[in-house]
């Protein structure tokens, strides 16, 4: 079964951390998302129709319908990796991150070097606040593709979430070395510097430094 022309694309989502909404973008390789897979029995037109309908539902934002149809496909063809990935995307967009992680994990078990799937699972971990696992996945993505800007950016967010501000700054610096015009990286790096400064002021304040307490109040906007 031939893949459709729309097999490749760019998925965009938004992540809010510390009240700042950041756009996260990752590339999806051809032959995975929204693609018609090479189903084992080419003459199985009924299940092919269900798979096509599931992909259309996913593309149109009808995630419950997409998941139901992917379930039907996977009942018939439990080894169809592409269906796990697409269903994982539907779960992700519904905010069902545990289910998405499970489906992405099924794909990774079969294709451990699939950078886009590792990145997708990392994003699901990130949305759950499981920063260590997110960092692990993004680090694997970087090892597979050291010039993938989005992986550094995403890992930087995870480092910030776990309070590792210096490492976050390093990742944003890497983004800017690859793409000097990336204003989101400048903004995110600035937030990391601010987070680090507030952590230092907080520690000094707790040790009895009144000036640090005043600076902390000024930076945080608290009176």
pLDDT tens for residues 175-219?
999 999 999 999 999 999 999 999 999 999 999 999 988 888 888
Phi-psi region of 61 (alpha: psi -120 to 50; beta: other; left: phi over 0): left
Reported confidence tier of residue 132, pLDDT bands at 50, 70, 90: very high
Reported confidence tier of residue 44, pLDDT bands at 50, 70, 90: low
Same domain, 122 and 171: no
CATH of the domain at 186: 1.25.40
Same domain, 39 and 104: yes
Q: Mention every residue, 6+ apart, whose C-beta is less than 8 A from residue 60.
A: none
**139 belongs to a structural domain:** no
Same domain, 112 and 7: yes
Same domain, 24 and 92: yes
| Structural domain range at position 186 | 156-223
Query: How far is it, in rounded angstroms, from Cα 86 to Cα 72?
Result: 13
Count of domains for the chain: 2
Phi (first) and psi of residue 139, to 5 degrees: -65, -40
Reported confidence tier of residue 222, pLDDT bands at 50, 70, 90: low
User: 20-28 and 9-17 as β-strands: parallel, antiparallel, unpaired?
Assistant: antiparallel
Same domain, 98 and 183: no
Query: How far is it, in rounded angstroms, from Cα 174 to Cα 106?
Result: 31
165 pLDDT more than 50: yes
Select the more confidently predicted residue: 64 or 10. 64
54 pLDDT more than 60: yes
List the Cα angle 129/133/139 in 5-degree steps: 120
């Amino acid at each position: 079964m031939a893949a459709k022309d729309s097999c490749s694309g760019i998925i965009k989502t938004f992540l809010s951390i510390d009240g700042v909404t950041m756009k996260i973008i990752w590339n999806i390789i051809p032959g995975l998302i929204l693609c018609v897979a090479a189903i084992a029995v080419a003459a199985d037109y009924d299940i092919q129709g269900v798979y096509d309908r599931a992909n259309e539902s996913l593309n149109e934002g009808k995630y419950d319908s997409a998941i139901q149809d992917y379930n039907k496909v996977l009942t018939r063809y439990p080894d169809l990796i592409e269906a796990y990935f697409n269903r994982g995307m539907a779960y992700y967009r519904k905010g069902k991150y545990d289910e998405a992680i499970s489906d992405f994990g099924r794909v990774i078990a079969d294709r451990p070097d699939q950078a886009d799937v590792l990145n997708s699972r990392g994003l699901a971990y990130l949305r759950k606040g499981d920063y260590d696992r997110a960092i692990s996945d993004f680090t694997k993505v970087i090892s597979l593709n050291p010039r993938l800007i989005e992986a550094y950016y995403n890992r930087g967010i995870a480092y910030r979430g776990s309070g590792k501000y210096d490492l976050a700054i390093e990742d944003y610096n890497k983004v800017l070395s690859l793409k000097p015009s990336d204003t989101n990286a400048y903004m995110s790096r600035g937030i990391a510097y601010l987070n680090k400064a507030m952590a230092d002021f907080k520690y000094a304040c707790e040790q009895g430094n009144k000036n640090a307490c005043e600076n902390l109040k000024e930076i945080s906007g608290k009176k």
